Amino acid sequence: MKAFISCKVLDFPGGKVVFSPEMRFLSESPSVYSQCYRVLDDNGQLISHNNFVPVSKEVAVKMYSNMVTLQTLDTIFYEAQRQGRISFYVTSIGEEAINIASAAALTSDDIVFPQYREPGVLLWRGFTLQEFANQCFGNKADYGKGRQMPIHYGSNKLNYFTVASTIATQIPHAVGAAYSLKMDKKDACAVTYFGDGGTSEGDFHAAMNFAAVTESPVIFICRNNGWAISTPTSDQFRSDGIAVRGQAYGVRSIRVDGNDALAMYSAVHSARHMAVNEHRPILIEAVTYRVGHHSTSDDSTKYRPANEIEWWRMARDPVTRFRKWIEINGWWGSEAESQLRSSIRSQIAERAEKPPVNDLFTDVYDNIPSNLREQEKLLKETINRHPKDYPADVPI
């Protein structure tokens, strides 16, 4: 009778409970680490006995072209910031596969809630290089009318919510949007991106639990690049990476080689199918390395060895790895490479008219209140009194 009682399963309101006479604590770390899904080795060769979602020649070539374009875009705007032509910039160097491959596996109806290192998703969806330039230079054609700092892109047309600097706030927003899509019976999901540092914020944990309980079709994509600015993951958490946290919240999860474009495409493609058709959240931990500095305000050689950075740049570059694979398939060659790289820079025109000063006071209230009208008046009077202290190319 005692043995029966000790092994009885109790259907408790908080979940099923299996009783045991043995006192046993859960280990603080797993005896076996989570596997990392991979399709291509470092030389672009398919790993034997793999299972991945097939990619057509057209999609593969577009993926590679977009990765190269993203690299070039980073070079152009990084140099522009160093020359003082824009105030700030964040590169995606080393994380191009996460950007482009994930975007390729989604549909245009899926709603994206980015952090700030996912411009490749916008690029895939049709955001032009000139539109990127418009935002970074804050000119009149910028959709934010020059009111945001550089790299805070957004596009209502492309279902890409505007970037917010505040870490992890986009994660619960994505869950709310996903729940709305579910209620409206839409054939779409929400997708949110964040770094390993974002998982140290309360928003991440609240969002994971919210998504699991509401069974919302949302894909969480964590770029685990080892560093939250200068804070290594070892100073952030002791768990086996990020994917294991999904299981704790009841969220299906997978760890993926974030530098393997085929693995990322396959994982996101499968995750989307499950999210939309099974109404469930999915967590993807993309293991990668931030080759560039955190931003143009950072010098990462102050907290990590330069030879480590260079090794990842040369030996683990996701763009080079994917190029080798499409070359092996006969889909790419040196002539196509040369034509692609020479055509990218010509698509950007830097000089453009700035938005007028009065745009600072619009788009918040339907009818601008008197206090803002007074501020606008005072600002224009100040500019007229001290014209040398203000940019001459901003219309008053």
* Per-residue confidence band for 345, with pLDDT thresholds at 50, 70 and 90: confident
**Residue 274: CB partners within 8 Å, gap ≥ 6?**
252, 280, 282
Instruction: Locate 259 and state its tokens.
Output: 């530098």
Cα distances from 374 to residues 132, 378, 383, in angstroms, run 33, 6, 14
Give yes or no: 96 in active site.
Answer: no
Distances in Å between the Cα of 364 and the Cα atoms of 53, 367, 368, 372 are 45, 9, 8, 11
What local confidence, expressed as pLDDT, does residue 2 receive?
A: 43
Q: Which residues contact 263 (CB under 8 A, 6 or more apart)?
A: 37, 38, 39, 40, 52, 256, 257
CA distance linking residue 285 with residue 225, whole number of Å = 10
Q: Annotated catalytic, 165?
A: yes
Residue 1 has pLDDT above 60, yes or no: no
H/E stretch holding 377 reads helix 370-385
- Please identify which of the residues 108, 165, 180, 230 carries the catalytic annotation: 165
Burial of 299 (0-12, 13-18, 19+ CB in 10 A): exposed
Q: Looking up tokens 């969220």, which residue turns up?
A: 251
β-pairing verdict for 227-228 and 9-12: unpaired
C-alpha closest to that of 294 among 167, 122, 191? 167
Q: What is the per-residue pLDDT for 4?
A: 44
Res. 392 pLDDT band, cuts 50 70 90: confident
Distance CA 276, CA 178 (A): 10
Torsion over CA of 314, 124, 228 and 208, rounded to 10 degrees? -130
Q: By the 8 A CB rule, do 113 and 192 touch?
A: yes
Q: Six-digit token pair at 316?
A: 């683990």
Check residue 191 and report its DSSP letter: E
Residue pLDDT, tens place only, 31-46:
778 899 999 999 999 9
Query: Do residues 99 and 92 make contact, with C-beta atoms less than 8 angstroms apart?
Result: yes
pLDDT greater than 60 at residue 6 = no
Q: What is the pLDDT of residues 182-192, one digit of tens each?
A: 999 999 999 99
Residue 200: DSSP 8-state: G
Check 131, 293, 294, 300 and give the catalytic one: 294
Q: How many residues does the chain have?
A: 396
How does pLDDT run across 187-207, given as a tens digit for each residue? 999 999 999 999 999 999 999
Instruction: Dihedral sign for Cα 251, 256, 258, 264, please.
Output: negative
Catalytic residue among 65, 102, 253, 295: 295
Which one-letter DSSP state was computed for residue 193?
Answer: E
> Rounded distance, CA 348 to CA 87, Å?
18
Helix, strand or coil for residue 147? coil
Span 313-338, average pLDDT: 96
Name the active-site residue from 6, 79, 87, 381. 79
Across the range 109-127, mean pLDDT stands at 98
* First-last CA distance in the chain: 87
pLDDT band at 7 (very low <50, low <70, confident <90, very high): low
Give the H/E segment covering residue 124.
Answer: helix 119-125
| CA pair distance 209, 295, nearest whole angstrom | 31
Cα 155 from Cα 108, distance rounded (Å)? 12
Residues in contact with 334: Cβ distance below 8 Å, sequence separation at least 6, in sequence order = none
Q: How confident is the model at residue 346 (pLDDT cuts 50, 70, 90)?
A: confident
79 among known catalytic residues: yes
In this prediction, residue 5 has a pLDDT band, given cuts at 50, 70 and 90, of very low
* Tokens standing for residue 35: 């596997």
Is residue 230 within 8 A of residue 302, CB to CB? The reply is: yes
pLDDT score, position 3: 41
What's the CA gap between 43 and 138, in Å, rounded? 41
How does residue 393 score in pLDDT terms, banded at 50, 70 and 90?
confident
Q: What is the mean pLDDT of residues 352-370?
A: 92
Q: Is 49 a catalytic residue?
A: no
Q: pLDDT of 217-274, one tens digit each? A: 999 999 999 999 999 999 999 899 999 999 999 999 999 999 999 999 999 999 999 9
In tens, the pLDDT along 48-101 reads 988 999 999 999 999 999 999 999 999 999 999 999 999 999 999 999 999 999
What are the two backbone dihedrals, phi and then psi, of residue 120, each rounded to the nearest 5 degrees?
-65, -30
The average confidence (pLDDT) of the chain is 94
Specify the CATH number of the domain 57-346.
3.40.50.970
Q: What is the pLDDT of residues 140-188, one digit of tens each?
A: 999 999 999 999 999 999 999 999 999 999 999 999 999 999 999 999 9
pLDDT at position 391, please? 86
Instruction: Please tell me the predicted confidence (pLDDT) of residue 396.
Output: 86
